[in-house]
Amino acid sequence: MDGLLDGQGKVAFVLGGGGERGGNQVGMIRALLEAGITPDIVVGTSIGSVQGAILAKNPTISVVAELTELWMEFISMKVMKPSLRAFVSNVRHVRAGLTSVDAAHRMLLNHFAPHSRIEDLKLPFVCPASSIERAEAHYFDQGPLIPALLASCCVPGLFPPVQIDGEHYLDGGLIDSLPVGVAASLGATTVYALRIRQTGVGLTPPRLPWQLAHVAFEVTRRAAVESEIARHRPGVTVHVLPSGEDELVRAGRGPVASTRAELETVRRRIALGYDAASAFLEGLQRTRQDAVG
């Protein structure tokens, strides 16, 4: 895409959180890299922190294959789906959470050895986690890599808090689900925000008591993300890429009953993310060409 990179200055990729929707993000990354857009800075939260760290380690098109492999591992190791029984039963839940954390730790060691510290990555990388003691976001930009990633991905109620230097952390998405401001503070003048939670599909009122907390959190999170994106930052251009998730939600999804079905769902998510982001970038290119005549 000749001309798309003109005048962009320092480029940042900001990878938002969204659990299993992270598969869409793989396709979005592929679309950006194939368009010749590569990051100078990577910022990621929750599942976006893991994928962002892998991208910061290997900011080339070959990273797409590694990210796809990551999702195959997620599914085979059941890292993303602790059982409902474990969630309902507190004792079982803690055991399942610890088992999942152990599995995630082993998997991350496999992907990041010998990159044991954030400073070892090829690109500057930052990921937020939510401090319990301080009730605010903490942004990891140096130090041990894997504990920071586990903290940024620590979904409350599914995994036990991650302790680092005597402080306890939960998922970074609780406070900063799409850290555009962090990228701007690091000197980025062009930000590509890879938001993977759907926003075009409205929420529905909760029917069950345990759905209330999720809906309340989602209302707050959506408002915070929109405010973060809309905040005026002189000299910074923010492009929010579509993920294709809205299309998947509108199409409707039944329960995923098997590992094979989960694999197919991930492949579909990657394809939807790629198609949606590619179309967006092509439109951006046409707009720039029209602007210059």
> How many alpha carbons fall within 13 Å on the CB side of residue 281?
26
In a 3-state reduction of DSSP, which class is residue 5?
A: coil
User: Which is catalytic among the residues 40, 49, 152, 171?
Assistant: 171
The question of whether 46 is a catalytic residue gets the answer yes
How many CB atoms are closer than 10 A to CB 176? Answer: 27
Catalytic residue among 46, 49, 100, 278: 46
Angle between helices 22-34 and 259-291 (to 10 degrees): 40
Q: Kindly list the distances between the CA atom of residue 264 and the CA atoms of 28, 83, 226, 247, 268, in Å, as whole numbers in the listed order.
A: 18, 20, 31, 16, 6
Q: Are 27 and 271 in contact (CB under 8 A)?
A: yes
Q: How far apart are CA 38 and CA 231, in angstroms?
A: 24
167-170 vs 125-131, strand pairing mode? antiparallel
117 by Cβ neighbours in 10 Å (0-12 / 13-18 / 19+) ranks as: middle
First to last CA, the chain: 16
Among 60, 56, 50, 54, smallest CA distance to 16 is for 50
C-alpha distance from residue 168 to each of 91, 130, 145, 150, 165 (Å): 20, 8, 16, 11, 8
What is the DSSP code (8-state) at residue 9? -
* Catalytic annotation, residues: 46, 171
